[in-house]
Amino acid sequence: MKISKIIASAILTLSVAGTVGVGYSVKASTTTTTDRITREVNLEFANLQDSDKVIPQADGGYLYTANSASDSSAVTVAQAKTNIIASYETSLQKTSSALTIVPLSTSYPVTAKALSPGDTYYSDTFSGSGWKYSGYKFYNTSGSHYMLWENVNASGQVMDAGGTVLKYLGADASFVSVYDSYSIYQIYGIQNPGSSAAFYVVTGE
């Protein structure tokens, strides 16, 4: 299955909540960090129009499907972007210009996330030191052992659920097909992301 940059169905999960806590601390001015997160959020939503509708999720993300527009809880992509940036700015104000960011996960994820072919998951921001992992182990509902992966502002690696490396992804790698002959589950890992506002994207193939 070929996937283009225009995705028919997408799960958008970005740093809407839980961005402040015990973790990696970086000094930054509100202006420069807000500008950076704005650019990164625009990259995350690059496959959608501002007028498209997305559904807020209980776990702090946004779901985009062909039926999003008819959901009573849906908001526009423009409003979702505003919410994410406002939450980020609030975090900066609370910490008096010392931003502390909680990583997605410091251990291999155990929660499975199903992706139908064409569905796409957009991650929270990765920050901090040491190894950080995706919050989910992903699998394809079609039974395929293939998934498409992309880095945004990062270099990382795709692994099986036990941490065996399946594919190294260079900086800003775009929709790399990864196959695991033994398992349907795949996870993402990145080492020492720092404060770069790194993301990953995974699509059911």
By CB atoms closer than 10 A (0-12, 13-18, 19+), residue 204 is: buried
pTM: 0.67
Residues 6+ apart with CB under 8 A from 90: none
Sign of the Cα pseudo-torsion (179, 182, 188, 190, in order): negative
58 pLDDT band (50/70/90 cuts)?
A: low
> What is the β-pairing status of strands 194-204 and 112-115?
unpaired
Written as six digits, the tokens of 71 are: 């959901």
Q: How far apart are CA 99 and CA 199, in angstroms?
A: 18
Helix (H, G, I), strand (E, B) or coil at 181: coil
Written as six digits, the tokens of 131 are: 């190894």
Q: C-alpha angle with apex 144: 143 to 147, nearest 5 degrees?
A: 130
pLDDT per position as a tens digit, 121-156: 877 667 678 888 887 899 998 999 999 998 877 789
59 pLDDT band (50/70/90 cuts)?
A: low
**pLDDT score, position 86:** 75
Q: Which of 57-66, 71-80, 95-104 has the highest mean pLDDT?
A: 71-80
Residues 6+ apart with CB under 8 A from 192: 128, 129, 130
Select the more confidently predicted residue: 123 or 102.
123
Select the more confidently predicted residue: 45 or 133.
133
- Going from the N-terminus, what domains does the chain have, and what CATH number goes with each? 14-101 (no CATH), 112-204 (2.60.120)
By CB atoms closer than 10 A (0-12, 13-18, 19+), residue 71 is: middle
Listed residue (71, 124, 113, 92) closest to 25, CA to CA? 92
What average pLDDT does this structure show over 66-94?
77
pLDDT per position as a tens digit, 162-176: 999 999 998 777 779
> What are residue 169's DSSP bridge partners?
156
Q: How far apart are CA 199 and CA 161, in angstroms?
A: 19
Q: How far apart are CA 49 and CA 53, in angstroms?
A: 9
**pLDDT score, position 188:** 93
pLDDT per position as a tens digit, 17-41: 333 222 223 333 444 677 877 887 7
